[in-house]
Structure 1
């Protein structure tokens, strides 16, 4: 009888643990995929917040240029994410409408 009282609680806790572990596995797989897809020339963030450009890659380490001529070696596990150039895409979109009125006035 006492087991029936705790059964719903045990089921809820089990479901929570299942979904939490599933989310963790997806995050870990995304990190592994990132580390496997790194290439020379990629701009990255490290886990400590440093930004740089990859200049060399081995199985476990990456060489990161943090300033012109300054190259440091980091473990791949320290790479948090790749920097994407979304800002440049937004700038190109902003310039296109501005160019259209100028071309009409030149005609």
Structure 2
């Protein structure tokens, strides 16, 4: 009699896990879209391709990014993966400060 209940309980557990995972994913997507919508001139950003840049101008669907002094390119807003802290500069990832060398 216990085995007859095992399959329905396992199915319900699987459905619950799928629901919780999808709600986490929706929240992460919403947070990403809010960050992309809040981008402003002067923000330091990282694109999905790993490019560090500074936002120079903002349009409804696109951004102009300065990737080097005087080098500006136009990008879709959706390629921005994260907004970097003002103190973070390209190439200053943790562990690359040259200490110990």
Q: With the length of structure 2 as denominator, give the TM-score of the two structures.
A: 0.79
Question: How far apart are 1:85 and its partner, in Å?
Answer: 3.2
RMSD: 1.6
Moved more, 18-27 or 78-87: 78-87
Point out the structure with max Rg over C-alpha: 1
Higher helix share: 1
Gaps of 5+ in 1: 88-107
Higher relative contact order (CA 8 A, sep 6+): 2
Query: 1:85: which partner in 2?
Result: 86
Q: 1:1-107 to 2 correspondence within 5 Å?
A: 4-86=5-87
Q: Distance in 2 between matches of 1:47 and 1:56?
A: 19
Q: With the length of structure 1 as denominator, give the TM-score of the two structures.
A: 0.75
Gaps of 5+ in 2: 89-101
Task: Extract structure 1 runs of 4+ deviating beyond 6 A.
Answer: none
